[in-house]
Each structure stands twice: as structure tokens, then as C-alpha cells.
Structure 1
Amino acid sequence: MRFVSTYDAGLDDKRRVTLPADFRSSLKIGAEPSDHVRVWPGEGAWLEGGDDAFIAALSQSAEELAQDDPDVAEAATLAILGGSRKLTLDSAGRMVLPESFVAHAALSERVNFIGLGPYFRITSPEVAISMAQAARDKTVQTKARIFAMARKKVREAYTP
């Protein structure tokens, strides 16, 4: 897992925001740390982002999908890959969000980074709260099954 947890951060007047330290420590190109992330507008009032490995996996998945549904694959590729921006991190881990991205996600002084494993979201605190509640509501029925499956995987990993 590369991007885990939810973090609050400030967004300044120049649209600079600091990528959480835990997220930065997960950015690697091979054995070397990476100095950037890729970010694109999401389907709702949020941005999505990931590292180059996730972008490569998305590209490969779109190529596989293109064999069955080329139109959908092209639309996804255009929206994600074509809509993404490479955002370079400064020495303090700050990046500058494009103005159109800030407008898309209706971001203001505070933002939340939400880790989703191989990728993350950037959104307003209000949208983050709404997303978290919707996720909890959807998982009420399946959470016990998910936890049981996870416990089994952990036991298997630690059984000699």
C-alpha cells in the first residue's frame, strides 16, 4: 500500500499544497525517490493522483480494455492520462495545483488528501466527510466479510 489514511493540509493563495509526508515517502522510481506526482480531475468534486507506476498500470489496463471496448478505453485514457498534470514537489513537498483543478474540486483554504492504496484523492474537507460517510453506508453489509478475509490473509502470511 502506498497511499493510506486521510490528511488535512492548507492551500495557500498561490495554490500550493504540501503532499503528506507519508505519501511522499511512498513515491519511488525503482529504488530512487520521485520528485513528482500525476494529478487529474476526478468524476466528482475531487482530484485524483498517483505516481508513475500507477499511471503506467492505468495505461496498460486501458490498452487491455481497448480490445473489448475501444471507445470506452479511449475516453478513459483521454480523461485520465490526457487530463493529468505532472506536479513537481519542492524540497518541502509542496506542489502547485493548476487553477482549473482547484476550480474543478471547489478547493479553498483547507484540503484533504485521502489515500486509496495505489492512488489518492484531493478534495475539500466537506466532500471528504461526505465520501467517508457514503463509504461506511455502502460497506455495512460487507464489512464483516472483508475483515474476515483480511484476517485470514494475515494468518496465512504469518503461518510457517
Structure 2
Amino acid sequence: MRFVSTYDAGLDEKRRVTLPADFRSSLRSGRDGADHIRVWPGDGGWLEAADDDFIAALSQSAEDLAQDDPEAAEAATLAILGGSRKLALDGAGRIVLPEAFVAHATLGDRVSFIGLGPYFRIATPEIAASMAHAARDRTAPTKARIFAMARRKVREGGAG
């Protein structure tokens, strides 16, 4: 897992926001020790973000999908790869979000970073809370099963 937990941060008037220290550490521990992230508008009121490793995996997955559904693969590639921006981290670990991205996610002076393993989302704290609540509701019926599977993986040494 690379991007884990939810963090809140301030967004200043220049659209600068500091990436959480844990996320920056995850970027540095990646294959290329990245000093940037890729960000694109999500399907809802949020932004999606990832490192180049995950972007490469998305690109390959789209190529694989193109074998069965070339139109869907092209649309996804256009939305994600074509819609993404490479955002450099400054010395303080900040990125500058493009104005259009801030408008897409209706970001104000506070944002939340929501870790989703190999990628993360940037949203308003209200949207982040709504996502967390909806996820808890969706997982309630299968949570015991998921925990049992995870416990078994840990016992077998397959997690981590």
C-alpha cells in the first residue's frame, strides 16, 4: 500500500497545498523516487492523483481493455491520461492545483487527501466524509469476510 489514510490540509489563495508527509514518503520510495504526481478530474466532485507507476499500470490496463472494448478504453485513456497534469512538488512538498481542477472539485480553503492504496483522491472535507460514510455502508455486509481473508493472508505471510 502506498497511499493510506485521510489527511486534511489548507489550500492557499495561490492554489498551493502541501501533500501529506506520508504520501511524499510513498512517492520517494517508488521506483523512480518521484518529485511529482499526476492529477486529473475524477468522475465525481473530486480529483484523482497517482504516481507514474500507477499511471503506467492504468495505461497498460487500458491497452488490455482495448482488446475487448476499444471505444471504452479510448474514452478512459482520454479522460485519465489526456486529462492529467504533472504537478511538481516544491521544496516544502506543495503542489499547485490548476484552477480548472479546483473548480471541478469545488475546493475551498480546506482539502482532504484520501488514500486508496496505489492512488488517492483530493476533495473537500465534506465530500471525503461522504465517501467514507458511503464506503462503510457498502462494506458492512462483507466486512467480516474481508477481515477473515486479511487475517488468513497475514498468518500465511502473504500480506505486506
Task: Provide the TM-score with structure 1 as the length reference.
Answer: 0.96
CA-to-partner distance for each residue in 1:92-121, whole Å, 9 max, x for gaps? Answer: 100000000000000000000000000000
Tell me the residue number matched to 1:15.
Answer: 15
Report % sequence identity.
78
For residues 37 and 130 of structure 1, what CA distance do their matches in structure 2 show?
25
CA drift at 1:62: 0.1
Tell me the equivalent position of 1:89: 89
- TM-fit CA distance, 1:40: 0.2
**Counterpart for residue 67 of structure 1:** 67
Counterpart residue number, 2:35:
35
User: How far, CA to CA, are the matches of 1:117 and 1:4 in structure 2?
Assistant: 6
Q: Give the superposition deviation at 1:52.
A: 0.2
Letter in 1 for 2:120: F
Q: Which runs of 4+ in 1 moved over 3 A?
A: none
1:133 matched to 2:133? The reply is yes
Q: RMSD of aligned C-alpha atoms?
A: 1.0
TM-score, normalization: structure 2? 0.96
Residues of 2 paired with 1:59 and 1:67: CA distance? 13
In structure 2, the gaps of 5 or more residues are none
Alignment of structure 1 residues 94-109 onto 2, 5 Å: 94-109=94-109
Question: Using the alignment, how far apart are the partners of 1:147 and 1:131 within structure 2?
Answer: 20
Helix, strand or coil at the partner of 2:121: strand
In 2, the alpha carbon distance for the partners of 1:95 and 1:132 equals 24
State the AA in 2 paired with 1:35.
D
AA aligned to 1:95 is: I
Partner residue, 1:25:
25
Question: In the TM superposition, what is the alpha-carbon distance from 1:34 to its structure 2 partner?
Answer: 1.1
Q: How far apart, CA to CA, are the structure 2 residues paired with 1:106 and 1:147?
A: 35
